[in-house]
Structure 1
Amino acid sequence: MIKHPHDDSLVLFDPDDLERDPAPHPLVGEHRADLRTVVAWARAYLCRPHPDLGRIGPVCPYAQASLDRGAFRLTVQEGGGHTVESLSALLAPYRDWFLDLAPRRSPGAQSATVLVLLPGMRDAREVIDAAQARLKDAYVGHGLMIGEFHDGPPDKAGLWNPGFRPLRSPVPMLAIRHMVPTDLPFLLSEETHLAAYRDLFGEQVPGHLRNLVAKP
């Protein structure tokens, strides 16, 4: 368990914390079932191939390493009455905390993941989607990605199969990780996002994506 150095309301758990008895924190005691469900989903879905994915390999190329290296962290934000504004404000502190916990150039930083579970928002998927869109600018500008997951599922197609919706999860959440070179297709719609990508990776664009940024 990791506590935020300046905000007692922010705490992160790893999968081992979910098996401790008594619970190491009231959030684990109250939301243990949802937290365990998400870890099981990550192992059974994110870390494995899927017939509709459209490519070989696991759904998420980084989830298994995150779990193996102890860099897979979870928390819970309670309540279901959030607006886009209040949810965005709630998630804003995680950006800088993530960067403090896993600086980009630190060993294994690419495996770092924080999942912020929102169990009270099962019927507010539109708010989660809109908050993610609002937060994305600030996160991308710091070299991070923030993604929305829920059982809607989010209406974002897979890169290799436009009929696949890969962001389905059993508990609504927002997920934070470092930007990687293969994120380019998710950043093309905004010039500021593309500029942030170029600042990080320069000409290190994966070969199969170079046509997306080719200059006329």
Structure 2
Amino acid sequence: MLTHPTRPVYPLVEPADFAAEELPHAVAEYEVALRRIHGWAREYLCRPNPDLGRRGDVCPFTSASLRKGLFLISVHPGRPERPADLAELLLHYRDWFTELSPSTEPESQFKTILVLFPNLTDVTLIDRTQGALKREYTEAGLMIGEFHPGPPDKGGLWNPDFRPLRAPLPLLAIRHMVPTDFPFLRDDEVTVAAYRDRFGDPLPHTSAAR
């Protein structure tokens, strides 16, 4: 488990922690929720899905992220009511994400932080927060993704009827932007500009990647 030097109340649970019979004491109260999301990542994100519309795992990076010990999960109780409440919290994780190793490619592309809200009932707050923070995150070279059991409104790139962002509990995910992210950014001139600043003009094959 990783603990922030100034905000220890928000630890990050590492993949290795789930191998123990019990999670560390600091997060023991939320063990059921944490193990549920860890299991979802292994059983859903790390496997193909016949409804996905393409070959490969639902998320091409999660398996390596787990294997490398870079798939980190934090959990927050309570029921925030406004995107601003979550945005303030996510600012902490955004800054911590940039401080955590590894910070250089290719290893950094596997670093992920999931911020889990097991008691949140209004899952539209997850969508609204992601929408409010998307530009800010892409300008920093990061992606923020919304997952919840709603399911989220966004369909898959290869099958618009599939909901790849469905998760058993509400959460927001932070990771580095990668070249294949262009399809998720192309509808907004700000996020397109952020992509081009980092990767240049998108190649044709990125228009329907991932």
Aligned to 2:137: 139
TM-score by length of structure 2 reads 0.92
1:14/1:70 contact within 8 Å kept: yes
Fraction of identical pairs, as percent: 50
1:18/1:32 contact within 8 Å kept: no
The one-letter code of the counterpart of 1:11 is P
CA distance in 2, matches of 1:136, 1:33: 30
Aligned to 1:25: 25
Aligned to 1:112: 111
State the Cα deviation string for residues 118-160 of structure 1 (Å, max 9, x = none). 0011x21111110111111221111000001010111001000
Deviation at 1:7, TM superposition (A): 1.8
User: Closer, same or farther in 2 for the Cα pair 1:56/1:201, shift >3 Å?
Assistant: same
* Alignment root-mean-square deviation, CA: 1.7
Aligned to 1:181: 179
CA distance in 2, matches of 1:104, 1:154: 30
Deviation at 1:10, TM superposition (A): 2.4
Aligned to 2:3: 3
Deviation at 1:62, TM superposition (A): 0.2
The one-letter code of the counterpart of 2:42 is R
User: Closer, same or farther in 2 for the Cα pair 1:76/1:188, shift >3 Å?
Assistant: same
Q: Which runs of 5+ in 2 are unaligned?
A: none
Alignment coverage as a number of residue pairs? 208
Aligned to 1:66: 65
TM-score by length of structure 1 reads 0.90
1:14/1:73 contact within 8 Å kept: yes
1:198 counterpart SS class: helix
CA distance in 1, matches of 2:26, 2:10: 12
1:119 counterpart SS class: coil
Deviation at 1:6, TM superposition (A): 2.3
Runs of 4+ in structure 1 deviating by more than 6 angstroms, as ranges, are none
User: 2:77 aligned with 1:78, yes or no?
Assistant: yes
Q: Which runs of 5+ in 1 are unaligned?
A: 212-216
1:1-216 to 2 correspondence within 5 Å?
1-20=1-20, 23-27=23-27, 29-102=28-101, 104-121=103-120, 123-203=121-201, 205-209=202-206
